[in-house]
Amino acid sequence: MRYVLVAGAAVLGLTGVVVVAPPAGAGSATQAPPVWKLVKVNTLPRDDVLNDVATLKNGSVWAAGHRVVNGKVKGIVERFDGKKWTLLPGVPALDLTAIAASSPKSVWVFGQGKASRWNGKSWTTRSLGKRFATADADALNVKDVWAVGAQMASARHWNGTSWRSFALPGQASAVDIYKARDVWAAGLNGSQPSIMRWRGGSSWKPVPLPPIALPSPDAEVGFRDILVIGPKNVWAVGGISWEGANEEGDDVTFSRTLLMHWNGTKWTTMVGKTGGQPYTQVTPDGTGGVWIVQGAWNATLWHVTGSGWKSTPLPRKPGTDAVLSSIARIPGTATTWGAGFTVPQGDPDDPSANGAFWRAR
C-alpha cells in the first residue's frame, strides 16, 4: 500500500479509491478559513451535555441534550435568539439525542421512543415506538419531518398529523431533506457503507455505491453524516474501524476516515490513512465549500474549498477537553454553529460536564 498527500489530506492508495474533488470555484488559494470561537460554556449545577444543534434563517440557534438534576436525567433545550440565551421550560425528561426545527413555533426534539414538539409556548409528546432511538432528524416544514433510528433499519416521518414508520434498506445514522419528496439517509448495510433515498411513495431505495476494500474481515464501515447541497453535490462522511494488534502485540482499535462525494455522474471515495479518527459531521460553509468535523473528542475542523483542505483545532479553555457533537449553518449565511460540551482536562468521567457552543463566521 502507498500513501499520497493531496489537498492537505493523507489518503490511502487503494484500487478504486481516489481523492474527492471539491466543488469547482469554491473559494480561492488566498482565502483564510473562517475562525472558530468558543462562544458560551454553560454554568448549570452538576453536568449538562448538548447532543445536537439546529439553526433557523431568522438567526436563532437551538440545541438539545440532557442535564442531571438531583440524580435524575432531564432533557435540556437551549435557544439563542441572536441576543439572549434561554432554557426552554417543560422539556421532556429524556436524554435528547436529536433536534430538528423548521420555525420557532415548530421545533422537534427526540429521545428514546419519543418525539416532542415545541409550538412556541408548550410541548406535545408523541410515541415513535419503544425501541426507536433517534440518531438524527431533519425538518423541511411543519408537515415534513424525518427521523432515523440508531442501529435500526427504520425511519419515521411526520406528515403534520401523525408519525409513520418506513423500513430502510440499511441502518441509518443521518438524514438530510434536500426538498419535498427527496430525502437522503446514510449509515451502513452489513459490512459496507450505505446511502438511501426516498423520492415519495411508500419505500426507500438503496443508492448504488462503489465497494470499500476492507482492511480486515471484521472491519466496521459506515457513514456518520450526509449533506445534500444539490443533485450534483452530495457528501457522506464516516469511518472504518477494526480490531488488531499494535507493534507491541497489544489489542487496539484501528481507524480510518471515509468520505464519498457525488458529482451527478459518479461517486468519488476518499479513505484516510490508519490512525485518523472518523469524520462525524459535514455542513455547507455558505460560500461554496463545506465544513467537515473529524472526531468528536477535541475534534479537528476541516474547511474544504476549491483551493484544498485547511484544518483548525476545536478551540477550548485552558485545562479543559471538549466534545463537538453537532454543527449547523444558519440558512442563507456563512455563519456556522456547533454544540457539545467541555469537561476538566484528562477526565472524561468527571461529573461536571458543561454544555458549550462554538461559532464560525
Q: How confident is the model at residue 350 (pLDDT cuts 50, 70, 90)?
A: low
Asked whether the beta carbons of 147 and 134 are under 8 A apart, the reply is yes
Looking up cell 468535523 gives: 293
What are the two backbone dihedrals, phi and then psi, of residue 228, each rounded to the nearest 5 degrees? Answer: -110, 100
- Note the pLDDT of residue 19: 38
304-330 burial, b if ≥16 CB within 10 A, otherwise e? bbbbebbeeebebeeebbbbbbbbbbb
**What is the rounded distance in angstroms from the CA atom of residue 223 to the CA atom of residue 196?**
11
Q: How confident is the model at residue 351 (pLDDT cuts 50, 70, 90)?
A: low
For the cut 50, the answer to whether the pLDDT of residue 8 exceeds it is no
For the cut 80, the answer to whether the pLDDT of residue 1 exceeds it is no
- Note the pLDDT of residue 287: 95
For the cut 70, the answer to whether the pLDDT of residue 23 exceeds it is no
For the cut 80, the answer to whether the pLDDT of residue 10 exceeds it is no
For the cut 60, the answer to whether the pLDDT of residue 21 exceeds it is no
Average pLDDT over residues 88-112: 97
So where are the chain's domains? 3-293+304-343
Average pLDDT over residues 98-113: 98
- Note the pLDDT of residue 348: 58
Within a 13 Å sphere around the CA of 165, how many CA atoms are in the beta-carbon half?
A: 13
**What is the rounded distance in angstroms from the CA atom of residue 225 to the CA atom of residue 193?**
11
- Note the pLDDT of residue 69: 86
Average pLDDT over residues 68-83: 93
Looking up cell 438539545 gives: 64
- DSSP codes of every residue in 158-206: E-SS-EEEEE-SSEEEEEEEEETTEEEEEEEETTEEEEEEE-SSS--EE
| Residue 8 or 322, more confident | 322
Average pLDDT over residues 261-268: 97
Asked whether the beta carbons of 102 and 60 are under 8 A apart, the reply is no
Asked whether the beta carbons of 60 and 81 are under 8 A apart, the reply is yes
User: Which distant-in-sequence residues (6+ apart) come within 8 Å of 338 by Cβ?
Assistant: 36, 53, 293, 314, 324, 325, 326, 327, 328, 357, 358, 359, 360
> Using one digit for the tens of pLDDT, what is the confidence trace for 303-334?
999 989 999 999 999 999 999 999 999 999 99
- Note the pLDDT of residue 347: 65
Mean pLDDT computed over every residue of the chain: 90
Q: Please count the other Cβ atoms lying within 10 Å of the Cβ belonging to residue 46.
A: 13
Query: pTM of the prediction?
Result: 0.91
- DSSP codes of every residue in 82-139: SS-EEEPTT--SS---EEEEEETTEEEEEETTEEEEE-SS-EEEEE--TT--EEEEEE
- Note the pLDDT of residue 317: 95
> Using one digit for the tens of pLDDT, what is the confidence trace for 213-259?
999 999 999 999 999 999 999 999 999 999 988 878 788 899 999 99
Fold of 3-293+304-343: Neuraminidase (2.120.10)
- Note the pLDDT of residue 346: 77
Average pLDDT over residues 159-181: 97
Average pLDDT over residues 334-353: 86
**What is the rounded distance in angstroms from the CA atom of residue 50 to the CA atom of residue 228?**
24
Q: How confident is the model at residue 161 (pLDDT cuts 50, 70, 90)?
A: very high
For the cut 50, the answer to whether the pLDDT of residue 4 exceeds it is no
- Note the pLDDT of residue 247: 78
Span between the terminal Cα atoms of the chain, in Å: 39
**What is the rounded distance in angstroms from the CA atom of residue 186 to the CA atom of residue 209?**
11
Average pLDDT over residues 182-207: 96
